[in-house]
Amino acid sequence: MRSDKEEKRVRQGWADLSRVAAERGWTYEQRARGRATEYCGVGPMPGSGSHLSAWHYITGEFRGRSFKCFEYRYSNPLSGSSGVGESRKLTIESVFLVSAPSSGPFLQIGRPDKLDSVLGRRPRMLLGVPEFDEKFQVVTDEDDFARSILSALVPAFLLSDSRAQKSPLRLRDDELFTWYTGTLSPQDVEERLDYLCDVLDRIPARVWATT
C-alpha cells in the first residue's frame, strides 16, 4: 500500500493533469470509457478486451506531433488474498504514443528478457553492434525495416540516453509507443513525450518513404 505522503503526491499529480492540459490546449478526460480497447496487444495492455477504460486520457499536440496518453488499470489476479472481503491489488500502467510520419511493420525495442526463449516468443534481431545487442532486444516482423530505423543516430542515442533504460519502444502502424508501470503526472507526460519525439527526430525521413 502507498504511504500517506505517496498517496498525496499521486493525487496531486492527477489533479495537475487537468490543469496542465487546459493550459496547453490539450483535451482531458478523467475516464474515457472504451478508449483503451484499441491499444490491446501493445506493451502492458492485454492481448484482447472490450470496453476498456483509459483513465486520465489526454490528447493533443506536442512538438508538432499528435499524441495520446492514459492510465490503464486492472486488478492483478495473482495479488491479494483469498480471504473473504480482501480485494486484489490494483495495477496501473501509463501508456504514451505519438504519431509517426508513416506506418511501419511491427517493431519493439526494449531491455532483454530472458523469458522470451523459454516462452516461445518471437526471436530477437541482432543489430551486430555488441554493446547495443547486449543492452537492447529488438523484435520485428521485418528485419530490413528495423535495420533502417537503427542504421543512423538511433542506436547511439539509445545507448547514451538514460531514459532508454526504462522506456521500451513499440511501433504499431503509424504510432510510436512507450509505457511504464505507475501513475501519470505532468512531469512524466512531458518526459515520455519528449523521449518519443527525440527518437523520431533521429530516424531518417527516407526510412518512412519506403514503408
Number of domains in the chain: 1
Range scoring the smallest mean pLDDT among 74-78, 172-176, 180-184: 74-78
What pLDDT shows up at residue 89? 83
Q: For 173, what's the count of Cα atoms within 13 Å in the CB-facing half-sphere?
A: 7
Cα diameter, the chain: 59
65-104 per-position pLDDT tens digit: 999 999 999 987 665 545 554 556 889 999 999 999 999 9
Secondary structure class of 182 (helix, strand, coil): coil
> Is residue 161 a contact partner of residue 198, using CB atoms and an 8 Å limit?
yes
Nearest to 54 by CA among 18, 23, 92, 21: 92
Task: Give the H/E segment covering residue 106.
Answer: strand 90-110
pLDDT tens sequence across 121-164: 678 899 999 999 999 999 999 999 999 999 879 999 999 999 99
Q: Range of 157's domain?
A: 4-209
Question: To which H or E segment does residue 137 belong?
Answer: strand 137-140
Q: What is the pTM of this model?
A: 0.89
Q: What is the pLDDT of residue 128?
A: 92
Rounded percentage of the chain residues whose pLDDT exceeds 90: 73
Instruction: Give the three-state DSSP class for 33.
Output: coil
**Is 70 within 8 Å of 64 (Cβ atoms)?**
no
The CA distances from residue 207 to 42, 64, 119, 145, 210, in Å, are: 22, 19, 32, 8, 6
Between vectors from CA 201 to CA 175 and to CA 46, what angle results, nearest 5°? 25
| Average pLDDT score, the chain | 89
> What pLDDT score was predicted for residue 119?
42
